[in-house]
């Protein structure tokens, strides 16, 4: 039974927009918000296609706005909102997302759209100087330099939701919180170089996914449902497949370089199958700080929503007596070539991470639609990385042009891999 927060009455109410409220992160965010009705007020929700779920979220939360990205069910949703006597205004398309991300009444934006589709609206929240809770790692992978410049320029507070990055943030030196909220905002994203903070390295942990010990010969027959059955985490299908190829850890490596202003050589990937430690920071004196907890995204979500304070997340205490040991391994680079690819992409910068991300999105989608085998995902990404020449994009349009080019090429590559019907 979840208890209502008793301590929130004194805090000022913060207004929240959720980009991607029908997804796994979006729904977990609503669960945390439901524990703190006095502290947070919901302004807007959004979905791509699940109009029925968006409708029931509107019924429960009665937000000011809802955005349906895909126009096909817009008429049905508009009519249903009216029939139910709801005053929620329905908006459409990417303009609607930008509107709810940057509206002056909004304090906090949860950026939890999956994939590159989340880039523009997340940037709109950053440009508007919001407190941005970043789940959409793909936007940093694609546009890290531009994104971090925009954070600095607007004074937005960028807080990581990805459990590993949230853990690293919690293990970093505490920003000076004695000043105004502006000072908090400044210090959250300007830790300076990790070496100047006495940090030797960042230890980015990952479970190794569902196929850590499966014989490699069996990889070609892996089905989408097998790939989405993560041993520890319950997540959306795209990130679940990314976890199965360990491309997720690769994308997270690039994400961490931008968030913590370091290079990929400052980050070691450590396989930790139990997912109890969510990442660690090692200091020059040999101290290692780890953040631990149940593998439940409500913890990082609650941490970021309330930061720099702490609130209940609904997640239970770890039961130390029921833990069967915590183990650690080096990642298997032969089994998971995505790790090396992503490290090289982090080092190369420019267009390379954009191509990596775009080709991966297309290949994962093709795999989930049973058009290509599991093993072809990495082959498609590799082919795109080899074929698309290096560029240094300076604008969002240039980034999106490379993204588009990589997607088109990846689609061609997928077609070449498609199974011949028997
Ligand atoms: P999901 O597939 O469950 O949900 C995705 C959300 O994005 C849905 O609300 C969907 O309607 C919306 N969406 C999809 N395509 C869209 C489009 N073209 N335009 C507008 N909206 C669109 O995904 P998820 O697992 O919640 O992951 C969301 C993001 O959070 C991803 O970037 C993922 O890498 C990251 N993340 C997720 C987890 C997790 O535990 N699920 C953990 C860490 C990071
Ligand atoms: Mg993660």
pLDDT digits (tens, 9 = 90+) for 282-336: 999 999 999 999 999 999 999 999 999 999 999 999 999 888 899 999 999 999 9
Test site for ligand 1: of 17, 22, 25, most ligand atoms within 8 A of the Cβ: 25
Residue 337 half-sphere exposure, CB side, CA atoms within 13 Å? Answer: 12
Test site for ligand 1: of 18, 19, 22, 24, most ligand atoms within 8 A of the Cβ: 24
Query: Ligand 1, atom 30: nearest CA belongs to which residue?
Result: 135
In short, whether 112's Cβ falls inside 6 Å of ligand 1 is: yes
Ligand 1 mean position to 215 CA, how many Å? 30
Residue 5 half-sphere exposure, CB side, CA atoms within 13 Å? Answer: 22
Nearest ligand 1 atom to alpha carbon 137? 32
Contacts (Cβ under 8 Å, ≥6 apart) of 189: 148, 151, 152, 156, 157, 158
pLDDT tens string 46-57: 999 999 999 999
In short, whether 299's Cβ falls inside 6 Å of ligand 1 is: no
Ligand 2 mean position to 111 CA, how many Å? 14
Check residue 9 and give its pLDDT: 40
Check residue 177 and give its pLDDT: 47
Contacts (Cβ under 8 Å, ≥6 apart) of 92: 67, 68, 69, 71, 74
In short, whether 47's Cβ falls inside 6 Å of ligand 1 is: yes
Distance CA 328, CA 279 (A): 12
Ligand 1 mean position to 113 CA, how many Å? 4
Neighbours of 371 (CB within 10 A): 15
| Helices and strands counted in the chain (H then E) | 16, 11
Ligand 1 mean position to 136 CA, how many Å? 7
Ligand 1 mean position to 216 CA, how many Å? 29
Nearest ligand 1 atom to alpha carbon 97? 20
In short, whether 117's Cβ falls inside 6 Å of ligand 1 is: yes
Rounded to a whole number of angstroms, the CA Rg of the chain reads 21
In short, whether 120's Cβ falls inside 6 Å of ligand 1 is: no
Q: Which long-range contacts (CB under 8 A, 24 or more apart) does 345-351 make?
A: 345/250, 345/254, 345/385, 346/253, 346/254, 346/257, 346/263, 346/264, 347/263, 347/264, 348/390, 349/145, 349/392, 350/390, 350/391, 350/392, 350/393, 351/388, 351/389, 351/390, 351/391, 351/392, 351/393, 351/402
Ligand 2 mean position to 272 CA, how many Å? 13
Check residue 8 and give its pLDDT: 40
Test site for ligand 1: of 17, 18, 19, 20, most ligand atoms within 8 A of the Cβ: 20
Distance CA 395, CA 354 (A): 13
Distance CA 252, CA 256 (A): 6
- Does residue 136 sit in helix, strand or coil? coil
Structural contact between residues 19 and 106, judged by C-beta atoms closer than 8 angstroms? no
Task: Please report, for residues 254, 398, 400, the alpha-carbon distance to residue 407 in angstroms, rounded to integers and kept in the order given.
Answer: 20, 14, 10
In short, whether 236's Cβ falls inside 6 Å of ligand 1 is: yes
Sequence-ordered strand ranges (E) for 33-96: 40-47, 65-68, 89-92
Nearest ligand 1 atom to alpha carbon 27? 26
The string over 122-153, giving b where at least 16 C-beta atoms fall within 10 Å of a residue's C-beta and e elsewhere, is: bbbbbbbbbbbbbbbbbbbbbbbebbbebbee
Query: Ligand 1, atom 5: nearest CA belongs to which residue?
Result: 23
In the sheet with 157-160, reading across from the earlier edge strand, the strands are: 89-92, 65-68, 40-47, 14-19, 108-111, 131-134, 157-160
In short, whether 233's Cβ falls inside 6 Å of ligand 1 is: yes
Nearest ligand 1 atom to alpha carbon 242? 34
Take residue 369 and report the two structure tokens written for it.
């639609």
Which ligand is the nearest neighbour of the Cα of 239? 1
Ligand 1 mean position to 236 CA, how many Å? 6
Which candidate, 162, 99, 154, places its Cα nearest to that of 130? 154
Phi, psi of 8 (to 5 degrees): -90, -10
CA angle 333, 335, 336 (to 5 degrees): 60
Ligand 1 mean position to 362 CA, how many Å? 15
Structural contact between residues 172 and 195, judged by C-beta atoms closer than 8 angstroms? no
Distance CA 51, CA 41 (A): 22
Q: Mark the ranges of the chain whose per-residue pLDDT is less than 50.
A: 1-10, 177-188, 420, 422
Which ligand is the nearest neighbour of the Cα of 207? 2
Query: Would you mind telling me the total number of residues written for the chain in this entry?
Result: 422
Phi-psi region of 370 (alpha: psi -120 to 50; beta: other; left: phi over 0): left
Nearest ligand 1 atom to alpha carbon 26? 26
Distance CA 192, CA 199 (A): 11
Structural contact between residues 378 and 340, judged by C-beta atoms closer than 8 angstroms? no
Which ligand is the nearest neighbour of the Cα of 206? 2
Structural contact between residues 277 and 203, judged by C-beta atoms closer than 8 angstroms? no
Check residue 183 and give its pLDDT: 30
Alpha helices for 132-246 (secondary structure H): 137-154, 163-171, 181-188, 224-228, 237-245
Ligand 1 mean position to 282 CA, how many Å? 31
């Amino acid at each position: 039974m979840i208890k209502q927060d008793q301590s929130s009455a004194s805090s000022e109410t913060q207004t929240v927009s959720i980009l991607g409220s029908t997804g796994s992160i979006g729904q977990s965010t609503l669960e945390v918000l439901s524990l703190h009705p006095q502290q947070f007020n919901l302004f807007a929700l959004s979905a791509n296609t699940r109009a029925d779920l968006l409708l029931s979220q509107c019924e429960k939360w009665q937000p000011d706005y809802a955005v349906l990205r895909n126009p096909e069910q817009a008429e049905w949703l508009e009519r249903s909102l009216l029939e139910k006597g709801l005053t929620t205004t329905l908006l459409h398309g990417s303009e609607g997302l930008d509107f709810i991300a940057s509206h002056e009444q909004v304090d906090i934006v949860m950026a939890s759209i999956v994939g590159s589709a989340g880039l523009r609206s997340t940037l709109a929240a950053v440009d508007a100087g919001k407190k941005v809770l970043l789940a959409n790692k793909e936007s940093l992978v694609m546009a890290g330099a531009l994104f971090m410049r925009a954070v600095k320029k607007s004074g937005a507070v960028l807080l990581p939701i990805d459990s590993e990055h949230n853990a690293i943030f919690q293990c970093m030196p505490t920003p000076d919180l004695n000043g105004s909220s502006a000072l908090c905002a400044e210090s959250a994203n300007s830790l300076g170089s990790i070496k100047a903070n006495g940090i030797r390295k960042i230890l980015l942990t990952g479970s190794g996914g569902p196929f850590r010990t499966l014989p490699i010969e069996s990889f070609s027959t892996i089905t989408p449902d097998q790939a989405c059955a993560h041993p520890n985490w319950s997540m959306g299908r795209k990130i679940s497949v990314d976890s199965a190829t360990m491309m997720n850890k690769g994308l997270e490596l690039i994400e961490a370089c931008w968030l913590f202003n370091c290079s990929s050589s400052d980050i070691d990937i450590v396989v930790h199958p139990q997912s109890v430690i969510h990442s660690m920071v090692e200091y020059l004196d040999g101290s290692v700080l780890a953040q631990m907890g149940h593998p439940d995204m409500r913890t990082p979500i609650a941490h970021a929503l309330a930061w720099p304070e702490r609130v209940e997340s609904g997640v239970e205490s770890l039961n130390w007596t029921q833990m069967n040991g915590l183990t650690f391994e080096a990642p298997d680079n032969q089994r998971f070539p995505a790790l090396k690819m992503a490290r090289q992409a982090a080092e190369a910068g420019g267009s390379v991470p954009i191509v990596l991300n775009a080709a991966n999105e297309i290949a994962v989608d093709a795999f989930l639609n049973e058009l290509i085998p599991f093993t072809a995902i990495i082959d498609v990404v590799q082919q795109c990385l080899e074929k698309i020449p290096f560029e240094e994009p300076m604008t969002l349009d240039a980034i999106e042009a490379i993204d588009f080019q990589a997607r088109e090429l990846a689609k061609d590559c997928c077609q070449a891999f498609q199974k011949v019907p028997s």
